[in-house]
Structure 1
Amino acid sequence: MATNGEQKQESRHQEVGHKSLLQSDALYQYILETSVYPREPEAMKELRELTAKHPWNIMTTSADEGQFLNMLLKLINAKNTMEIGVYTGYSLLATALAIPEDGKILAMDINRENYELGLPVIEKAGVAHKIEFKEGPALPVLDQMVEDKKNHGAYDFIFVDADKDNYLNYHKRLIDLVKVGGLIGYDNTLWNGSVVAPPDAPLRKYVRYYRDFVLELNKALAADPRIEICMLPVGDGITLCRRVS
């Protein structure tokens, strides 16, 4: 018979930094071990394991979401993409492996040091030439891009996994930059499940702080006539927005 300690160990999820909202850890582990890990490219596995040792590993994209993004990009034949919020580059690598040899990713993050942790793995995978990395806040870069009409409708896919308090500010700019029929993916739109937590729920400070921004974003996306949306319970929740006008 298992002791309490062993039971706790069994129920604790094995994926470092996992954010799955599935109530059963065992079921999520089944998804990883049956579908994700057997087909995960060696470079992505290496980067995932490297990132697991980082003190901020909770920031990483989950392995199942990485697999989802990789397939999604292939399905829509994405070639010109953008990523806001890179961390060590797991989702960036999933994108780089999915797009064609002459595909491009404009990647932005305020922390080059984290990006450079994963860069040797990305280089070894032979896809670093697809990435243009810019260090610093994304909004000034986006403002500059929006000013130039040639950038309007230039992107097939944009993935946002950055400061939640700026998601709506990003959306106001990205809607011009993504093509009609293209996709914007906003990560963490279920925000640790806190979007349905009662007001007095005991939430971690950063979860409570950003929750209202996530709720505001979700409401705004649902009301935006320029997009079709689909909110998926993958990872910590991802909302796909397809630009229709």
Structure 2
Amino acid sequence: MMTTNLLKLASALIAISSSAHAINSIPTSAGTPSDISAFNSADSEYEGWENLNSTNTDIAGYGGSYPGYAAWPDAIDSNTSGSTGNGAYSKTAGAGYVGNTSIYSSDTGSFSISSSVDSLDDVNTVIFQFDAGLQDDWTNYVATLSYNGGSQSLTADYTALTNGSFTNEFGGETIYSSNILFQWDLSSIGDTISEYVISYDVAAHTQTYALQLDSSEAILAGSVIPEASNFALLAGIAAIAGCVTRRRRIQ
């Protein structure tokens, strides 16, 4: 009976983590039912970025060549299916250029994600996902949020990590990536939020594969994304069941 339950739980985990390239569906099954229901029923905007490599002619040449200190000529607009079109991804300083499989930072780099959320009356919850090949402990990748042109630099209320892999189209080898998820609860802010910017730094040799941003009017009691300890437990269960998660991605 215990083995059967483990297999069922592992199968449910894999079904979720296999969806929509390497970025996780939001919300995940580890959130509380009430929060997931509130998040799904509220007005929201979605922005996604993928194909962040030199095969994308819209961004080929961004950052120059190695070591990638050249400025980007413009922000990278959200480009996944279903994106609202209000999101912009920018390099603000340091290293980061469009390579064969990712945006590669040969040295430390600073980046930002902005959204004008013009279809929402207010923003109460923001979830940002950063999918990358990390070169430092994931807890050292910190994102802060400022809104309405200010410099509030709010740290996330909840963070989590998931691990995944996908097959590189150049040769078919397996590439492993990490999803860092950040969630902000902005419901206590008295001002109506009409736009915001998320800023974060990356360590040297970080490879950025994809990004996702979810803005919602939902007011939640807790986190929609699971805590890191819950991810560790679920990953252990999946390993016991002998399951392997593979995610599709355009490289």
TM-score, normalised via structure 1 length: 0.30
Question: Greater share of strand residues, 1 or 2?
Answer: 2
Question: Greater share of helix residues, 1 or 2?
Answer: 1
